Amino acid sequence: MSSPIWTPDALRSEARAFTGTAWRLVEAQHVVSTQKLVDSLAEQELLEAILDTTKPPLPEECQNLDYLLSTPFRYRPYPYGSRFRRAGITAGVWYGAERPETAVAEMVFYRFLFFAESPGTPFPDNAAEYTGFAVDLDTPVALDTRAGALAADAAHWTHLLDYTACQTLAETARQIGAEVIRFTSVRDPDQGGNVAVLSCRAFSASAPTDRQTWRIRISRSGAQAIREHPRLGVEFPPTAFGNDPRLANMVWDRPRKT
């Protein structure tokens, strides 16, 4: 299947303004990862500041952002390609979902993938805690692969393994100043929407605007995700992502970590 060819002029005719909210999940331990090394909050703040000086510099437009927003734009080279970013010394991309449930589905898939690639790793005995956080987006130039002429190439934008067309699209999108690409999640059973943020300028607030606590338990019966407030439970059976060949040899019957 040859990749579609989208010229800058063709993409300009598909570009629209976009304002909305995107969600992402991170392991809750990011909040306390350095706390165990210090005796006070002041010491923790100092340690975080020292650690920050050892990291690569941020692009100028990202410097006022919380690290939950800016981190994907900081580190190069990018070791592995993702849907809208090639491997190598390439511009950063922040990925999020338009609904928290879609963000959970994305996280569960990658947890399944981790265990599929580590057949000898026991499942954890307890649920892992995650922080879901929301960011506000506002950009005059966005693309939506689910709408207009772009939707005709949906098979390329939603391919499970081959990201070539998406990566080429992102590179051309940057040429016309596009800051966000909206696309369908191939992990969410409800096919919810995802966003790829190509520029820090698309963030309309410098820090997350909302947070949720999620607990996700992985076991031989799949995954159970529970949100504390407002209360919500979402289940993913072992067959939830059965169309992805990378999970074909998943070992579900394995001991739990003791």
CA–CA separation, 124 and 236 (whole Å):
17
pLDDT in tens, 146-160: 999 999 999 999 999
- As beta bridge partners, residue 194 has 97, 183
pLDDT in tens, 188-235: 999 999 999 999 999 999 999 999 999 999 999 999 999 999 999 999
Rounded to the nearest 10°, the torsion over CA 122, 105, 68, 62 is 130
Mean pLDDT of 57-79: 91
> Is 124 inside any structural domain?
yes
Residue 158 and residue 150 in contact, taking contact as beta carbons nearer than 8 Å:
no
Strand 222-227, strand 210-219: pairing: antiparallel
Band of pLDDT at residue 42, cut at 50, 70 and 90: low
Which residues, 6+ apart, have CB-to-CB distance to 56 below 8 Å? 74, 75, 76
> Is 254 inside any structural domain?
no
> Is 218 inside any structural domain?
yes
pLDDT at 200: 98
Q: Is residue 146 classed as helix, strand or coil in its secondary structure?
A: coil
> Is 253 inside any structural domain?
no
With a cut of 70, say whether residue 15 has pLDDT above it.
yes
pLDDT at 35: 53
CA–CA separation, 85 and 170 (whole Å):
7
If residue 216 lies in a helix (H) or strand (E), which one and from where to where? strand 210-219
pLDDT at 97: 98
Count of the separate structural domains present in the chain: 1
pLDDT in tens, 94-121: 999 999 999 999 999 999 999 999 999 9
Band of pLDDT at residue 18, cut at 50, 70 and 90: very high
Band of pLDDT at residue 54, cut at 50, 70 and 90: low
> Is 224 inside any structural domain?
yes
CA–CA separation, 117 and 128 (whole Å):
19
Strand 128-144, strand 180-184: pairing: parallel
> Is 257 inside any structural domain?
no
Band of pLDDT at residue 38, cut at 50, 70 and 90: very low
With a cut of 90, say whether residue 257 has pLDDT above it.
no
With a cut of 90, say whether residue 82 has pLDDT above it.
yes
> Is 25 inside any structural domain?
yes
Q: How many CA atoms, within 13 angstroms, populate the side-chain half-sphere of residue 246?
A: 15
> Is 258 inside any structural domain?
no
DSSP 83: T
- Domain of 21 in residue numbering reads as 8-247
pLDDT at 203: 98
pLDDT at 2: 75
Q: How many CA atoms, within 13 angstroms, populate the side-chain half-sphere of residue 235?
A: 7
Give the CA radius of gyration of the chain: 19
Nearest to 6 by CA among 15, 61, 122: 15
pLDDT averaged over every residue in the chain? 91
Strand 210-219, strand 16-27: pairing: unpaired
What does the block give as tokens for 135?
């960011």
* Phi–psi pair at 68, nearest 5 degrees: -65, -25
Residue 73 CB burial class (10 angstroms; 0-12, 13-18, ≥19): buried
pLDDT at 52: 56
